Structure 1
Amino acid sequence: MIMGSVAHIRQSDGKVQTVEEHLISVQKLASRYGRTIGVERLAGLAGVLHDVGKYSNEFRNYLLDAVSHPERPPKRGTVDHSTAGGKMLYEGFHSKNNSVPEKIISEIVGNAIISHHMGLQDFLSPELESDYLNRVSEKPIDDFQNVVEAFYHHILSQEDFQDYVKQCEIELTHFFKQNIDKQNGQKLFLTLLTKYIFSCLIDADRTDTRCFEEKTSPTIDSQNDNLFEAYYNKLTNHLSDLNANPHTQTTINQLRAKMSQECDAFAEKPSGIYTLSIPTGGGKTLASLRYALKHAVTHQKERIIYVVPYTTIIEQNAEEVKRILEDRDHILEHHSNVVETESDTLNDVKDKSLKLAKDNWDAPVIFTTMVQFLNAFYSKGTRNVRRLHHLANAVIIFDEVQSVPIKCVSLFNEALNFLKGAGGSSILLCTATQPALDFVQHSIEKIDGEIVQDLEQVTGAFKRVDIIDKTTNEGWDTEALSDFVFDQLQDVSSVLVILNTKTVVRRLFSHIKETDPNLRVYHLSTSMCAAHRKDILAKVNEAINHKEKVVCLSTQLIEAGVDISFECVIRSLAGLDSIAQAAGRCNRHGEFGHRNVYIINHKEENLKHLQEIATGARITKQLLIDRHHDQGIKDLLSSEALTLYFQSYYEALKEDLDYFIPTVQKNMFELLKGNVGYRDAYWNKTKKSFNLLLDMSIKTAANHFKVIDNQTTSLLVPYKEGHEIIAEFNGEVTIEDMTALLKKAQHYTVNVYQHEIDRLSQQGDIQSLLEGKLFCLRENAYDLNYGVNIDGNGLMEEHFI
């Protein structure tokens, strides 16, 4: 017979974790996470109340029924144990006699508590409903008074609880004075604070539960200082060895060394938002790492996070960093969520392992994507937001920051303002093509400085290519472009062609192969898994190093952060930033003297659903025309030209910067900062004043948020080790195994659009794993040339490559 309260029952041995043990442990963890930005007590309050509903007789009977009848357990999630904590705060601290800070505490912390199994709720929705208020005020809870009395008896006395909330009020008031008293858009800031506290709670809850299941203890305090110092010494020794090599004493390498030293010196400055505008090929990755390590040691930052636009950059940059720092255990590559599941109705050990697997960015050095960064702030559910609090007190390097999707620019800027102001993080906007992020309405509040001195002189010294306009009135078709590639191969050994759509890339690949079956031609695409793309790039590099004739055809994924150098680059007309990045793949180290980058307009490309590319191409075309008529800027790769381009680009798309949502006729910004119009409409509808101080539509915004418009599904593919990983997912999986498997599987997954999923499913080419929470591809639907093959006739032998 189980005595006392029950929060969890361990699957392996039946041991009970009491409600008291769980609440106090989660409180301690959440407090530690909240301490980073000065909201230790607020986060702790969420932790100590989140599962107080488990004191109810209904929940206890539910758990005992599950233990007594394992063959027919009750459906998970049928007993609401998350509302009680929010209701305690609302009833105790949201009357007319309570102060404004007390009411805000009950709303922010209460929303986090009631939402910890589903994602934050709307305070006031476009439909003029309040999910939060309905839960804490209207929803009846059986046994509620007994739950409250159990909390006062086992956790905190009523007097101590009142005192704890009073300390939270002092903390919140201080936080306001430090951060938002002088700012506009306070409610948006409060939305981000709510998400931060929610992140602390989710991570603390999942971590404590995982540790209970694994019979381990959580690591409370960050211990990365010594690690960062050791990393810094290894990096500086590596750079010293490079600079001492007589073969590296070129002008460009000396400039690289100078900019690296500038990063080192700059790292002693206070935390802020800085730009690092090292030209392409200037050693940006190692220079930014040098800044990050020195700054982390100097200012006691907890972690270093690289945020990049594409997974291809993660693979190459992370590999280089791991090699130089001689560490593969503490550097995390987080490409994407292999399993997209927000369900808390988990039915077996595999389900539980998925939910609790350590997927929270608790690592000293992290490489991730812009999609994952933005998801941590704005996406729905609980999985992504769990990582948000680890972005505070960090050094965050945005590699190729110009790639922020246009609709997310304002949201991105506000996230950075929060991380700098409240989060105490230091942020590096790192690219050769700095976007004009201070030109938009909702801008970064302040760029605190540029690291590279004499930027114009440095950019001129790195000039290794000329932009040649080959656009025509008729445009280029596949056959003409193929002929042009072969013409270039008469004079050079390596050619890179970058086109805007996968369809025309594949068409060109087939045409060139048919024209010369013996030519080494390679194709890169997001239809390939990360491990596959890495292998392709290795083959291309090998051919280049051996001076063999080689052609690489790619979409824009190769443009940013891939350290590869071709003698000739051909780029389909696009935004000037894309053209500049493409130019960075040509004559990257100046090894070929001076080379050309050709701009063509491919008439077979369909940009109907690629508005940003089409707009960028139109503005770039005008710059080319102006240059041709001696009316514009001569050097299209200059900072002056890029600033002019981005100002024109943002002006052309200014209606899209705030992420407009057609179905509710509001933009994301309006939903997240609250809307007076909704309050007025609420009065007109109900003839009652809206009872809450906060009115943000957090859930509605999250439900509509997608960094990439077209919804994709992650498929695990049978490329090389992918076979074994698929087999392992089919076996017995512990929580620890699941953590390791999810990490490995990222290299063997492809994000596939819904129409492709439908086609593959109809053909029987998709298999379900983990009861439909993970999907894998059959071997015949993957191809060594193209990756995912929806025709189901994939070739897994190297016929072409």
Structure 2
Amino acid sequence: MPSIPYAHSLPDRPSEDWHSLEDHLLGTARLAEGFASAFGAGEWGRLAGLWHDLGKYSEAFQGYLRSVSEPDATGHKSDLAGRVIHSTAGAQHAVNRGLVGRLLAFAIAGHHAGLPDAEAGESGLSMRLQEVPEPIDRAPTRLLEHPLPPPPRLCVIGDGPRRAFALAFFTRMVFSCLVDADFLDTEAFFSPRRAGLRPDGTVSCSDLLGRLGKALEEKQRLAADTPVNRRRREVLAACLEKASLGPGFFSLDVPTGGGKTLSSLAFALSHATQHGLRRVVYAIPFTSIIEQTANVFREALGDLGGQVLEHHSNLEPDDPVRQTDRSRLAAENFDSPLVVTTNVQLFESLFASRTSRCRKLHRLARNVIILDEAQTLPPQLLAPTLAALEELVANYGATVVLCTATQPAVTRHDGFPIGLDGVRPIIDDPARLHASLGRTSVTLLGATSNDDLIGRLRAERQALCIVNSRRHASDLFRRLDDPAALHLSASMCAAHRSEVVAEIRRRLLPAVNEPCRVISTQVIEAGVDVDFPACFRAAAGLDSIAQAAGRCNREGLLSAPDGSPSLGRVFVFDYDRKEYPTASLIEQAAQCFREVAPDHQLGLLAPPATKAYFRLRYWQQGGQDGRGWDRGDGGQSVMGCFAPDRKTLLHAQFRTAVSAYRLIDDAQTPILVPFGDRGRELIRELEMMPEQPEPERLRAFDRNAQRYVVGVYDRGLKALLESGVLLEYHGRYCLGNREAYHERLGLTFEALGLDPDRLVI
């Protein structure tokens, strides 16, 4: 056995060049201690780092390292990789040191495979703690004899079960510190070049605030002195003023078109600068608009726009400004001063068990977290979601801003006991702001046939019609049969949609003022700033209707023939729901609107209507026992996975909670489409790749192709496969028939087969 125990070996290199185990433990402990110090748990992080690889001191593990790194007498190397479990020894040592060591045991036992359940057969922590581990006699006493810290002093909100949840949350945060530190220390040994590319932290929130302030000053200088722009200036001033208040919960209740996006960022950066917070995380409900929001921030931040990190599931942009080696590394652990991500990525990470998803969690401590359109959180997961937000604020020094165009729907009040308490409004009189920014009137049309709707659209010179499904949008566009009409939906690739949006904006310019009738899905409701005199909206949640109204008379410039100010006209219609079914959450929200609307027809976007709507949509969904707010997949309670246990202190089912806590992700299977010359070039490039292309080449291709793909759900993918229009290369689908991509509608399902005369390639 070598005289020096090692943590990692280097194939075909002498053992003197290997990674010393003690160096690795000390290096990981140093990093983990620094990470955990952000929430007052530095000693917990240090011990997790010191003990996580104690099992590598065993003779079995050291023999394994030699077997996989040094050839035997026949010149072959062993294939025993991964067969020596080394994480159990450290977990057992932590438990043997005292009761609170169980918190460390969860983190240490899971630092490779992920946080375990307390009870899950042989893979559960309880069974692993009973195993007979490999001896670790060679571990230095100075590493083993550290005393455990006292139990974490956590601010517990509520009763016993909430204490169990708080302890589990603390354990996951320590786990995050450990796995990030372990990865970074290992990376520094194996790949110093990669480690050197990581962000150096030299750009702060203060730097971003200075650049944003200059951009906003210039924006206001150039903006016309209109009533709407005056209200936007008031919103910004309120955000900057309230930024001096201490960390905690805030609400920013601003109607669509009120300048909420940049004003909320100004609040966050100013608040972070004044209170020593570390970064801003901006969470958005829809993947489809994250790119637009990030681009707004980059434009405002100028030279520092490269500090904006996009982080989401199915978008890896090709623009080197938006995606660099540094940003890809920063995405692994949120190591950036400004992160733009999705609700799915943020909240599922808060309940994750896998190491890759948990690495970033510790960086949420002492952050500003902005939840854009906070009212889109799913009602059946409100209890665990709001509990996680309360933990971040109460015990990890975070500030959470609830941004909404309607009203804060998740604050505590009678009948909604799980709501957030102590939420401070940034806008002192939101009702007055809503009234002063009222630029539309809303009319209920009731049941409306496609033909009737088409007739109404034809009577308008410029009008926007928003529906709930791609097929409904396609059918209406075909029936409209207007060469000057435009279609916009997720059936079109991003490059195609960008061209259409640019054309819409051009036609709506006052100096151009051309006919502009647009049939769109919800993709236009957020992140696309357009200004129509009339808007037709299929029945949906009241918050979606408010977003649609924000695309009507957005600048408040409409005037009557006599020159007096005029309101934009918003018409809400019902449609054939059997013919055009939509997602259950959309239909549930629409049904809540239908129940509320008859009693509020004179003010459908006013605060009384939104209060009545959210009473149905959120506040009454819990049922008598409150379980309706905690109903994960299969009916599993998420909070029930963290039951109190006085005997063991923590009895958490971490992996069961992951399975139960599932937000609806809009990630779909990407189909590469032949839009424009570039789209066809990409398909040819994919087809011409060698049989086994290098992984880096495929990753580069995916980045370049991102704006030329259309996402489809499983049913759509099945239909395309059955029609025979798809080609598959290297696990990626592309269209092999140009007729399957309509120049105005995007991806369609009418084409059949790979017609040789119509092949893309």
TM bucket (normalised to shorter chain) is: 0.7 to 0.9
Match of 1:42 in 2: 44
Q: TM-score, normalised by structure 2?
A: 0.84
| Mapped partners of 2:331, 2:186: distance in 1 | 11
- Name which of 449, 463, 468 aligns with 1:500: 468
Q: Is contact 1:497-1:553 (8 Å) kept?
A: yes
Q: Is contact 2:25-2:50 (8 Å) kept?
A: yes
1:706 aligned onto 2:659:
no
- Name which of 304, 309, 320 aligns with 2:296: 320
Match of 1:6 in 2: 6
Correspondences of 1:2-401 after superposition (within 5 Å):
4-10=4-10, 16-68=18-70, 74=79, 76-90=81-95, 92-93=96-97, 102-104=98-100, 106-124=101-119, 131-138=124-131, 140-141=132-133, 144-145=134-135, 148-152=136-140, 157=141, 161-163=144-146, 165-166=147-148, 169-170=149-150, 172-173=151-152, 175-176=153-154, 178=155, 185-216=162-193, 227-245=204-222, 248-326=224-302, 327-336=304-313, 359-401=332-374
**1:27-56, CA deviations, whole angstroms, 9 ceiling, x for partnerless residues?**
222112111111112122222222332333
Match of 2:518 in 1: 552
Q: Secondary structure at the match of 1:422?
A: helix
Q: Secondary structure at the match of 1:469?
A: strand
| Mapped partners of 1:324, 1:794: distance in 2 | 47
Q: Is contact 1:312-1:530 (8 Å) kept?
A: no
Match of 1:658 in 2: 629
Greater CA drift, 225-234 or 71-80: 71-80
Shift of 1:356: 8.2
- Name which of 418, 435, 441 aligns with 1:466: 441
Shift of 1:572: 0.7
Shift of 1:793: 6.2
Match of 2:392 in 1: 419
Q: Is contact 2:198-2:330 (8 Å) kept?
A: no
Give the 3 Å change call, closer, same or farther, for CA 777–548 of structure 1 in structure 2: same
Give the 3 Å change call, closer, same or farther, for CA 428–691 of structure 1 in structure 2: closer
Match of 1:519 in 2: 484
| Mapped partners of 1:225, 1:569: distance in 2 | 47
Shift of 1:419: 0.9
Amino acid at match of 2:242: F
Q: Secondary structure at the match of 2:528?
A: coil
Shift of 1:411: 2.0
Q: Secondary structure at the match of 2:130?
A: helix
Q: TM-score, normalised by structure 1?
A: 0.80
**1:498-517, CA deviations, whole angstroms, 9 ceiling, x for partnerless residues?**
212222122223333xx22x
Amino acid at match of 2:464: L
Amino acid at match of 1:133: S
The size of the alignment, in residue pairs, is 719
Amino acid at match of 2:183: R
Shift of 1:72: 7.5
1:447 aligned onto 2:422:
yes
Match of 1:723 in 2: 682
| Mapped partners of 2:241, 2:12: distance in 1 | 53
Shift of 1:622: 2.8
Match of 1:575 in 2: 541
Q: Is contact 2:55-2:90 (8 Å) kept?
A: yes
Shift of 1:670: 1.4
List runs of 5+ in structure 1 lacking aligned partners.
94-101, 340-352, 629-633, 677-689
Give the 3 Å change call, closer, same or farther, for CA 62–130 of structure 1 in structure 2: closer
Q: Secondary structure at the match of 1:552?
A: strand
Q: Secondary structure at the match of 1:149?
A: coil
| Mapped partners of 1:290, 1:478: distance in 2 | 44
- Name which of 637, 656, 659 aligns with 1:667: 637
Shift of 1:537: 2.7
Greater CA drift, 583-592 or 273-282: 583-592
Q: Is contact 1:478-1:504 (8 Å) kept?
A: no
**1:667-699, CA deviations, whole angstroms, 9 ceiling, x for partnerless residues?**
22212x3178xxxxxxxxxxxxx9633222221
**1:334-382, CA deviations, whole angstroms, 9 ceiling, x for partnerless residues?**
131569xxxxxxxxxxxxx999895221111111111111111124523
1:753 aligned onto 2:755:
no
| Mapped partners of 1:380, 1:609: distance in 2 | 32
Q: Is contact 2:27-2:185 (8 Å) kept?
A: yes
Give the 3 Å change call, closer, same or farther, for CA 648–161 of structure 1 in structure 2: same
Shift of 1:791: 6.5
Amino acid at match of 2:311: H
Q: Secondary structure at the match of 2:113?
A: coil
Greater CA drift, 285-294 or 588-597: 588-597
Amino acid at match of 1:85: G
Q: Secondary structure at the match of 1:429?
A: strand
Greater CA drift, 496-505 or 291-300: 496-505
Q: Secondary structure at the match of 1:307?
A: strand
- Name which of 506, 528, 534 aligns with 1:542: 506
- Name which of 621, 642, 645 aligns with 2:610: 642
Q: Is contact 2:279-2:368 (8 Å) kept?
A: yes
Shift of 1:19: 2.2
**1:724-777, CA deviations, whole angstroms, 9 ceiling, x for partnerless residues?**
99699975456xx999888777666665433444555665836465xx6xx454
Q: Secondary structure at the match of 1:551?
A: strand
| Mapped partners of 1:76, 1:776: distance in 2 | 34
Give the 3 Å change call, closer, same or farther, for CA 406–535 of structure 1 in structure 2: farther
Match of 2:460 in 1: 488
- Name which of 477, 482, 490 aligns with 2:449: 477
Shift of 1:222: 9.2
Q: What is the RMSD of the two structures over their aligned residues, measured on CA atoms?
A: 3.8
Greater CA drift, 276-285 or 81-90: 81-90
**1:313-335, CA deviations, whole angstroms, 9 ceiling, x for partnerless residues?**
32222112111211232111113
Shift of 1:578: 1.4
Shift of 1:71: 8.4
Shift of 1:240: 2.2
Q: Is contact 2:54-2:89 (8 Å) kept?
A: yes
Greater CA drift, 619-628 or 195-204: 619-628
Greater CA drift, 369-378 or 496-505: 496-505
Q: Which has the higher contact order (CA 8 A, sep 6+)?
A: 1
**1:262-281, CA deviations, whole angstroms, 9 ceiling, x for partnerless residues?**
11111111001000112211
| Mapped partners of 1:756, 1:71: distance in 2 | 49
Shift of 1:135: 1.2
